[in-house]
A and B are shown apart, each in its own frame.
Chain A
Amino acid sequence: MSEILFMKGNEALAEAAIRAGLDAYFGYPITPQSEILEYLAVQMPKRGGVVLQAESEVASINMIYGAAGAGARVMTTTSSPGMSLMQEGISYIASAQLPCLLANVVRGGPGLGTIQPSQGDYFQATKGGGHGDYHMIVLAPSTVQEMADFVYLGFDLADKYRTPAMILADGALGQGMEKVVFPEYDPAKMKQPKPWATTGKANDRERNVITSLWLQPEKMEELNQLLQDKYRTISEQEVLWEEYQTEDAEVLFTAFGLAARIARKTIQLAREQGIKAGLFRPKTVWPFPYKRLNELARQVDMILDVELNAGQMVEDVRLGVEGVTPVFFHGRMGGMIPTPEEVLEKMEANLQTVRSNGQSKEVAK
């Protein structure tokens, strides 16, 4: 039985990375995630591995690019403005098909914004972010426990598909303390064979070249096709979500990460008032669980999407719902967090609109 610890989300993420066999971490301080670099600066020298404070996020991500190419298990973490700086490097890493783990402990934006929690980087994380046609696998934790669990999962998926994976958290998950248990991690998974790595051209193989440059458009399209095939496979096989009280739900909340915790509380309040509400929470926001959401959408009278932004995941929700049920949105921006009471009020108003328009699935029957 593993020990139950009480930790900040940032520290749990860092500790999980070490337990998953992190070879090297490169990062630059930025609030609200500097504890990750600080924790690793203490632990990595004692437990083995490289930790280096880079001169910028631009340098961090390119150190990751180099070290990932050299076959190491690598991670960098940052918060929103820093993640903007990393986009160029991520595009190269995706194109060169290298595994690595990133984390964005999102803060309010745009610009320098605020250091308070936000989900304003959903588009950047899930739709590419940098230049060109690529995706990252994006995992959205909702608890400190998942801050740790998704590190294991992120490294595994990154290796499996030779692609960057990202943990999309927020300032509250990074700073908040909760209990966490670290499951055993299989040491065999730490050192996957990487015959493509630039480790020095051994005499028994051809030279390894890691590049994202293909000047002939036919070649570049070929690479793009390969990437798209990979993304299709990931979309089919790696979609993860959680449902809460959806069995009898007439009203469905969609939310990821921290917002999903607010939605859970709102559901309790709604059920106390006799409104059957449930939650659909994507754990992978890329790939997004469109299919299951569509099934649920057919069952409920309305969907209220809750986010800490101006409405970003709601676009994927609407894509998944395909218009079969009304989709509403409630969000707060710039580091503000909605209360369950305000979300409930919004939901009740929306529900009244739906029912007075005769759009209820019950009425339709």
Chain B
Amino acid sequence: MTDECTITEGMSAMDLVYDRPESLLDVRMHYCPGCGHSTVHKLLMEVVDEMEINSEIIGVAPVGCSVLAYEYMNIDMHQAAHGRATALATGIKRVLPDKYVFTYQGDGDLAAIGTAETIHSANRGENFLIIFINNGIYGMTGGQMAPTTPEGGKTATSPYGRDIGDMGAPIDIAAMIAPLPGTFYITRQTVHNAKGVRKTKKALTNALKYQQLNKGLCFVEIVTNCPSNWKLTPYEANQWMVDNMFDNYPLGDIKVPAKEDLS
């Protein structure tokens, strides 16, 4: 296509230090400029390639901006109804216990309409990975309040700002499921800077490796942005995220397996 820039001029194969992971399809993504989804997609597919599990992994993409993840990930994928990703993943993993299974869910999906499925999958210790993209807003439907929207957050359905007394406080699912014996590994990361990207990739790698141990649910939350619906530039959105999201959702490991559990 003529409107796409190419950067191959002046480059030789020898100079190549970074390339698209094989498991990520070479197609244009629908995500908005600055959105964290594309970064997480790429990281996940890098991990899949590095672990060489492309033929052994099944992804579940429920309703939300990332429902079309199957357009980008060159692996077997199953689209789910809003909130039901972990029920689907339970069905898949229970009949294919030797395969890797992950869900890729937004905050409305995982923390509102799918809360029951999230908590009970965690409580049963389902042996799959939940990737939780928390940007504090409904993206696909156009910027409505999410259960994770920070206090005072202005959205299409909280136009005067989120009022805790009226609309409840931002919900922290990671903290809620951490005490459950069924959860094995829970961490919260971000992808807005190089350090965050590296740590997120490490978290995804850990989580998929832990799945081999069959010891319970792994949960990787990624606090990210939504420039379009926050009505900010990508740069401003990242700044707003640092200022408003991280207080509610502190980064770092929330539950890590003990050494003796890693065998």
| Beta-carbon contacts under 8 Å, A48-94 to B | 50, 52, 54-56, 58-60, 62-72, 74, 88-89, 92
Verify A198–B58 contact, CB threshold 8 A.
yes
Verify B90–A52 contact, CB threshold 8 A.
yes
Verify A209–B81 contact, CB threshold 8 A.
no
Verify B56–A200 contact, CB threshold 8 A.
yes
For residue B182, give the distance in angstroms from its CB to the closest CB of chain A. Answer: 13
Partner of B88, one of A62, A71, A203: A62
A233 at the interface (CB under 8 A from B): no
Answer whether A210 and B84 are a contact pair too, CB < 8 Å, given A63-B94, A67-B95.
no
Residue of A nearest to B94 (CB): A50
Neighbouring B residues of A200 by C-beta, 8 Å: 55-58, 75-76, 96, 99
**Would you give 30 A-B contacts (Cβ < 8 Å), ordered by A?**
A26-B91, A52-B90, A54-B120, A58-B117, A62-B84, A63-B91, A64-B91, A65-B78, A65-B88, A66-B89, A66-B90, A67-B92, A67-B95, A69-B92, A70-B58, A70-B78, A70-B95, A74-B91, A74-B95, A92-B80, A198-B58, A198-B76, A198-B78, A198-B92, A200-B58, A202-B55, A207-B70, A208-B76, A209-B78, A213-B79
Residue of B nearest to A55 (CB): B120
Verify B54–A62 contact, CB threshold 8 A.
no
Verify A69–B78 contact, CB threshold 8 A.
yes
Residues of A near any B CB (own CB < 8 A): 23-24, 26, 50, 52, 54-56, 58-60, 62-72, 74, 88-89, 92, 96, 198-203, 207-213
For residue B28, give the distance in angstroms from its CB to the closest CB of chain A. Answer: 15
Neighbouring B residues of A50 by C-beta, 8 Å: 94-95
Q: How far is the CA of A69 from the CA of B60 in the complex (A)?
A: 11
Residue of B nearest to A60 (CB): B87
Verify A55–B77 contact, CB threshold 8 A.
no
Verify B77–A210 contact, CB threshold 8 A.
yes
Q: How far is the CA of A59 from the CA of B115 in the complex (A)?
A: 11
Mark contacts of B31-72 with chain A using CB atoms, 8 A cut-off: 1 yes-contact digit, 0 otherwise.
000000000000000000000001111101000000110100
Partner of A207, one of B68, B74, B99: B74
| Beta-carbon contacts under 8 Å, B74-130 to A | 74-81, 84, 87-92, 94-96, 99, 116-117, 120
Q: How far is the CA of A69 from the CA of B79 in the complex (A)?
A: 10
Interface of B is mostly: mixed
Residue of B nearest to A69 (CB): B78
Neighbouring B residues of A56 by C-beta, 8 Å: 116
Q: How far is the CA of A96 from the CA of B57 in the complex (A)?
A: 20
Q: How far is the CA of A198 from the CA of B95 in the complex (A)?
A: 11
Verify B87–A66 contact, CB threshold 8 A.
yes
Verify B57–A89 contact, CB threshold 8 A.
no
- Between B74, B80, B94, the greatest number of chain A beta carbons within 10 A of the residue's beta carbon is seen for B94
Neighbouring A residues of B117 by C-beta, 8 Å: 55, 58-59, 62
Verify A70–B84 contact, CB threshold 8 A.
no
- Between A74, A202, A210, A213, the greatest number of chain B beta carbons within 10 A of the residue's beta carbon is seen for A210
Residue of A nearest to B76 (CB): A198
For residue B130, give the distance in angstroms from its CB to the closest CB of chain A. Answer: 14
